[in-house]
Chain A
């Protein structure tokens, strides 16, 4: 019995280890992810030992609503998110595992669209999907689909990025506009009552990182400001390095649409998630060289120097407002929730 890709839905049997599951694997996953390591069909992927450098591993679960949003979908996001966690450690990503938790009732057409998008994102990033798993949960027990990806990469010898290396006087660089992903997701959710042209910035950053490391090997540390936004990332860096992070409001790259959406909903772009941006900390003398290299890469075209590292007060993040006054940038308490008036 062939799978009905037009009208069919995910059924419990698709995760049950029976024929249905094999049909899904044969018809969808193998063709989409096609590579020699996966098509061995064993219970594990066997990877060649890296020739040089060290092995980097990271894992990330993706639970976004809605599944499809302007500028991306959960499939591409599951690839980009994990690749970026490798990339900001200076690792070249090579392999991904993909574990799916499907909700009974998910349209097979949607599943196929997501898997094809995931496969395309992996191909574009030159990363192979070498092992995977599928489970199906009863209707009402999931949000359509959850995707968990684990990434394996190699960190070249000599590359040593760490928050511990951050020193007062270092500069903070941001690779592009803030809050695009968060704003795109918020405005795609029903009930907001407005439409917007904002697209998620979902993208894989390892090529940009390679360019940056070549231009400025002295980069201290990089992070991708995902959940909690730039504010959370800077707090992490300040805390781990025992320094203070100071940013300049006037230097933050922001799309006017994102600013407007934030105004309407009562959000602050500093706390909105990004899925294709990174923050780099580098010694002052490397700043201009690094900025130039970033701006020459498409994913860093709007890169900017957004702040610097100070010694005092350790562990804190402060912002010079556009008017020259200073204020604390606090952690976000819980989720960012819309204001009422």
Chain B
């Protein structure tokens, strides 16, 4: 896998950073929103902001599916997992997220709930197939706690279809999939303080770069789809700086080795067959965004955990479910830096996350906390 070193070549990184410095007009601002948490992680882990001129500021967007999951949905998952007849399968980074009462799936697991960390939707399906083979009185319900953007949604759709074909009776999905373009629309529509957009890489491999054309045209902000390596991101920054300097406003694609214009049609069809957009879905820190979440179609109702289990907390995320003084909403819109939040690094730390941005390592606050917070000196 030589590409790991190739896209992290220090000489090229320094050369590209120097090119950007030459290109930047110090009298104007370049506030670049990277939507995706993977980008946030790369920027923080490699200290990329330190290599760039001050005029360039990264705004860390809501692109971490775990962070934006409202605490009510976690509480709903906790409710489902509390049933002794249920095995709840969850992705690793969802199990630490606190629900409304501060309890997480990891704590529920310690207290006796059968919560299993899986690496893929297929693993949950496999577990359900094994349950189907068991003697009737030993059979337990396998519920997959599905989370993620367009990247993980197709795989969830596929396992639901498989479960239907195989007539599995002990499998269902608690669906929390969310969609990128509607969220981008909502962010920009509310007047986010940004000049340009770094489009997500993996999501775009599914939806295609043209999915952003409407948002770019309507809000007149340039967008460059980027890969996840340091050189990818720097090249995307360079492309955005050039667009902004020239007054252009286009969708461009830096991540050509993974993304094309139309995306993965098969994955899109798979999603469309099983899911339909919800009227709205609550994003932690952003509130209720229209048509931004996926629900399971009536046809597959038998595999919808929300229909199968009496989930009380899922439907209504209340306003007061979010901690007071939490600035996540403002941070995600580029109005505030993590350090400007009164809770940051006091009540809110990676061990005791209060808001969306501190919850997963890819959140804006967590990345800042992990990689920057303790830096008390300037770069030597």
Contact = CB atoms under 8 A, between A and B. Distances in A.
A326 B374 contact: no
B377 A341 contact: no
Contact of B376 (A312, A324, A330, A333): A312
A66 interface: no
Nearest to B91: A340
Contacts of B375: 318, 326-328
Interface string B82-123: 000000000111111000000000100000000001111001
A256 B3 CA distance: 11
Query: Chain A binding site: helix, strand, loop or mixed by DSSP?
Result: loop
B351 A334 contact: yes
Contacts of B4: 256, 259-260, 263
Contact of A337 (B1, B117, B350, B371): B117
A140 interface: no
Contact of B66 (A263, A323, A334, A340): A340
Interface string A256-288: 100110010000000000000000000000000
Contact of B230 (A318, A323, A337): A323
B371 A328 contact: yes
Contact of A328 (B230, B350, B361, B374): B374
A330 B369 contact: yes
A249 to B, nearest CB: 9
Chain A interface extent, by class: 20 to 34
B14 interface: yes
Nearest to B48: A325
Interface residues of B, number: 53
Contact of A339 (B50, B51, B92, B349): B92
Contacts, number: 110
A341 B202 contact: yes
B309 interface: no
A315 to B, nearest CB: 9
Contacts of B202: 341
A191 B370 CA distance: 29
B282 to A, nearest CB: 20
A339 B119 contact: no
Interface in A288-323: 312-313, 316, 318, 321-323
Given A337-B117, A338-B119, A260 B47 contact: no
Nearest to A339: B93
B254 interface: no
Interface of A: 191-193, 250, 256, 259-260, 263, 312-313, 316, 318, 321-328, 330, 333-334, 337-341
Closest 3 CB pairs of A and B: A325-B47, A337-B92, A333-B350
19 contacts: A191-B118, A192-B119, A259-B4, A312-B376, A313-B374, A316-B374, A321-B45, A323-B47, A324-B51, A327-B371, A328-B370, A333-B351, A337-B117, A338-B93, A338-B119, A340-B65, A340-B92, A341-B65, A341-B149
